[in-house]
Each structure stands twice: as C-alpha cells, then as structure tokens.
Chain A
Amino acid sequence: MVQSLDTMIETPSQTAGPYVHIGCIPSFAGLPGVYPEDLGLSPIAPGAKGQVITITGAVIDGTGWALRDAMMESWQPDAAGRFAGQDGADPAVSGFCRFAADKDSGLFTLTTVKPGPVPHRSGGVQAPHISLWIVARGINIGLSTRIYFEDEDNSADPLLSRIEQRPRVDTLIAKKTAEGQYRFDIRLQGDNETVFLDI
C-alpha cells in the first residue's frame, strides 16, 4: 500500500428538495416569524454606485416547463469589479442575493448593479458577469452558471473562450430588452441547454 493522503473528500451533495424555501426563504414557504427577514433579499443597498439593472428569466426543464420550485443565489462584484470585503469595495454592494422562481409563473427577478470586470489569475480580465447557483427538487448537486451581458465586450473572456461550440456561448448571455432590463432563461436540458460550470 502507498501512503495515505492528508486530504479529505468533500461531503456529497443531495437535492435541496421541494421545501428548500423553509430553510432558505422562509417567508416564501409561508413560514414567517422565525427570522426578522429572509437572508439575501437584495445584493445592493440604497446608494450603490453604478447602473441598477433588472434581470428576469425562468428555469426551464427538459420538457420546456418552467420550474416553480427552483431557488437561486447570485454572487457578483460591485460596479468597479471589487467583491465585498476587498479593499475599496462599494459598501452598498453585498453582492449576494437569494431568490426563488415564482410559484405560479416560474419567473424570477434579480435587481442589482451591473458588475464591473474582474481580473483573471492568468492575466487579462473577465467580462462583467454574475455567478449563479441553482438548486431545486430533482437537481442532485447545485448547478453553477454565469450571466453575461449582450451589451458588453465578451470577446476576450477566458471562460466564454473555452466553449468549443460557439452557439453555446449565447446561452450565458443575457438579452437586453430595454434600458437596464435583461432577459436570462436557464435551460436545464435539451435544445439550447445552458452551459453549466465545474469551477
């Protein structure tokens, strides 16, 4: 036998289930009163610098049906590309938001500031993007993806550049529907399946 490694193995994931809101967004579950307010209601506070934008979309399964029980979390830097806690970061941008698909329509809405570009370890910058994490009944390990913007220069982004099949790049780019308004649908499976990440 060889020596054993010092590292441990990550705890395996399990689905968040249909009642994830009880723990994460209790008021959505019809369970108010345990906490003063749900965690991560907004990634920005009044006075946040930059352009306030709204992203609307749905999480769509392999049959074309929008999930009514998905929960999402987003993480992003401020308008200058600094994450909360980093030197000079905008104190009005926590950068974290937690939101659910509407139980009737399946639509979600994220109101935030448009993020700035973020440096990449190997040099260069990443185009502005918001990291997104999706959990739901039927999803056994949370799905990670990114929201980019069609009115930004995405041509040199290191992640988008790694996507061999160029038509798939479009699945990560939010479409501008009006000034400050974007549409971003997540397709879990099938035609135009969203690119999901392992990073």
Chain B
Amino acid sequence: MTDNGETDAGPLIPRQRHMHPVPYDPEYKTSVPRSPKWPLLSMESTPSEETGPRFGHSLLGPLDNNLILNFSKDGSPAIGERILMHGRVLDENARPVPHTLVEIWQANAGGRYRHVKDNYLAPLDPNFGGCGRTITDAEGRYQFLTIRPGAYPWPNRANDWRPMHIHISVFGHSFGQRLITQMYFEGDPLIDRCPIAATIKERSQLDRLVAPLDMARARPLDFLAYKFDIVLRGRRQTMFENRLEGM
C-alpha cells in the first residue's frame, strides 16, 4: 500500500518504447557505441521490478530543495535568474505518486557544472553547487527554488550547444518505474537544434519535456516559475485477476 491507501500491487504497464528516445542515434555520437544492438528481453514484471526503495522525509535537510542557498557558506545567494521549478509526479493512471524522491542537478547561470570533469571556461559560482532533492507530498507535488541554468557547448558536432536544462531523477514506488529525464524551458531556440532532445522522435513527446512559464506561481519581486509534471509507469488495472486488486 502507498501512504495514501492506494494499492501498489499488480504488474507494471509495459513501457511504450516508441515514445521514448531511440537508443541509437548517430547525431548524438556517444550513443553509437553505447546502445545495445540486440532487442530487449520483454517479460511481465515480477516482484523484483514491482518493489523499490522508499526514502523518508528524515533524509532531507531544510535547504535540500533550495539550490540558491544549499551550497552557500555564508548565506549569499547563487547568481542568476531566480526561478521556482514545480510540478506533480503522476502515474499513467493519472494518480498522484506521493512520498517519492525527486533529485535534480544542473549547471550554473553561465552553463558551468560543478564537476571535476567539466572544464568549460565559464566560471564556477562560489555559491552554487547544482544539486537538489525533495520528496513529493501526499498529492504528488514537488518544488525547487533554483537559478535558471545557462546553455553550454559540448563536443559532439562542431558547434553543438545544449539548451538550458535541468536533469531530473525520479524513483516512484517500484524499481521498474525508475526514470531520469531532462526539463527544458519554454521558448529556448536551442531545443530544436539539440541532438539529445532529438533522440525523441515523436515531437509531441519532446514537447512534454518543455516547461511552460507559470506566472501564477511566480512571486513578484522575487522569482519566476516554471511548471514540470512527470508521469511514471502505472500498474495494470483489471477486474479479472486471480485475486482482487488491493487484496
């Protein structure tokens, strides 16, 4: 059972792989040697996929979902465009996914990551780390306060630049729901030029990764807001199982 009383029994709905990015895409060059050649082995899920780790609120520190302050040593805020990133985590049956861990990571306002392997010449921000985490509430809602990340160049084709984006990792309630994706920002002209975004062949599906500006949640004289809802795999619902759902 989930904490809101809904059943967590039952097999997971199979993934619609054609709605996901293709594994092999020559325009995203690193995918060429890192994509399996053989088909996946498909099978109905088992307890190994239908269970998963749970993380409680005791995991969280008070600033874990505030990237503007969570790396600052003296309370000085990170530099950049202050934004609220918020949304809901739902499953394919349109039910909220409560009490699940959401993690994000991103570059700073200049497009520089705080990672030992990033040597882009844009400077680090001494007050910005770039990671955050939170746990969804009883209705599946989450939010982060952060700065809008900058675009950055990467060695793919000769002049490729990633659009502004925030990486997101979601657990759900079972290991088979595990998902990592990226949020893009409404109106960014680099989205249409990005070979990573273009690994998603259904344009309508890529559009689901583009967060709209949400003035209803923006706070005057403080921050703008972007909304990003996430849908995880659901569980098959049927009256014709050997046992009743939820029993």
Set A6, A13, A34, A77: member contacting B21, Cβ < 8 A: A13
Q: Say if the beta carbon of B189 comes within 8 Å of chain A.
A: no
Residues of chain B with a CB closer than 8 A to A34's CB: 64, 70-71, 129, 131
Set A76, A94, A131, A199: member contacting B44, Cβ < 8 A: A199
Alpha-carbon distance A195/B39, docked complex (angstroms): 8
Count of A-B residue pairs with CB < 8 Å: 268
Question: Assuming A15-B196, A140-B199, A199-B43, is B180 touching A135 (CB within 8 A)?
Answer: yes
Q: Say if the beta carbon of B214 comes within 8 Å of chain A.
A: no
Residues of chain A with a CB closer than 8 A to B12's CB: 199
Closest to A9 in B: B19
Q: Say if the beta carbon of B114 comes within 8 Å of chain A.
A: yes
Main secondary structure on A side of the interface with B: loop
Closest to B197 in A: A14
Q: Say if the beta carbon of A170 comes within 8 Å of chain B.
A: no
Interface segment, one of B22-30, B75-83, B219-227: B22-30
Residues of chain B with a CB closer than 8 A to A199's CB: 12, 41-46, 49, 176
Q: Say if the beta carbon of A173 comes within 8 Å of chain B.
A: no
Residues of chain B with a CB closer than 8 A to A195's CB: 38, 41
Alpha-carbon distance A147/B169, docked complex (angstroms): 23
Interface positions of A from 35 to 93, Cβ below 8 Å from B: 35-36, 39-40, 61-63, 65, 67, 69, 73, 75-77, 83-86
Main secondary structure on B side of the interface with A: loop
Q: Say if the beta carbon of A188 comes within 8 Å of chain B.
A: yes
Assess the A11–B196 pair: CB atoms within 8 A.
no
Interface flags for A167-199 (1: CB within 8 Å of B; 0: not) read 010000000000000000000111001111111
Alpha-carbon distance A18/B21, docked complex (angstroms): 17
Q: Say if the beta carbon of B205 comes within 8 Å of chain A.
A: yes
Assess the B53–A84 pair: CB atoms within 8 A.
yes
Closest to A165 in B: B38
CB distance from B89 to the nearest CB of A (A): 9
Assess the B15–A26 pair: CB atoms within 8 A.
no
CB distance from A6 to the nearest CB of B (A): 7
Question: Assuming A12-B208, A17-B167, A63-B33, is B114 touching A22 (CB within 8 A)?
Answer: yes
Assess the A136–B47 pair: CB atoms within 8 A.
no
Q: Say if the beta carbon of B135 comes within 8 Å of chain A.
A: no
Closest to B178 in A: A133
Set B31, B40, B42: member contacting A138, Cβ < 8 A: B31
Alpha-carbon distance A84/B56, docked complex (angstroms): 13
Alpha-carbon distance A133/B169, docked complex (angstroms): 13
Set A6, A30, A142, A198: member contacting B14, Cβ < 8 A: A198
Chosen A-B contacts, 16 in total, with CB atoms closer than 8 Å, are A6-B93, A7-B94, A10-B92, A11-B231, A24-B103, A24-B169, A40-B53, A62-B37, A75-B53, A77-B47, A84-B51, A84-B54, A138-B35, A196-B36, A197-B40, A198-B15
Binding site for B on A (CB under 8 A): 6-24, 26, 29-31, 33-36, 39-40, 61-63, 65, 67, 69, 73, 75-77, 83-86, 94-96, 103, 118-121, 126, 129, 131, 133, 135-144, 146, 158-159, 162-163, 168, 188-190, 193-199
Binding site for A on B (CB under 8 A): 11-17, 19-23, 25, 28, 30-38, 40-49, 51-55, 59, 61, 64, 70-71, 90-94, 101, 103-105, 113-118, 129-133, 167, 169, 175-176, 178-182, 196-197, 199-200, 202, 205-206, 208-209, 230-234
Which 3 residue pairs across A and B have the least CB separation, nearest first?
A23-B105, A138-B30, A138-B34
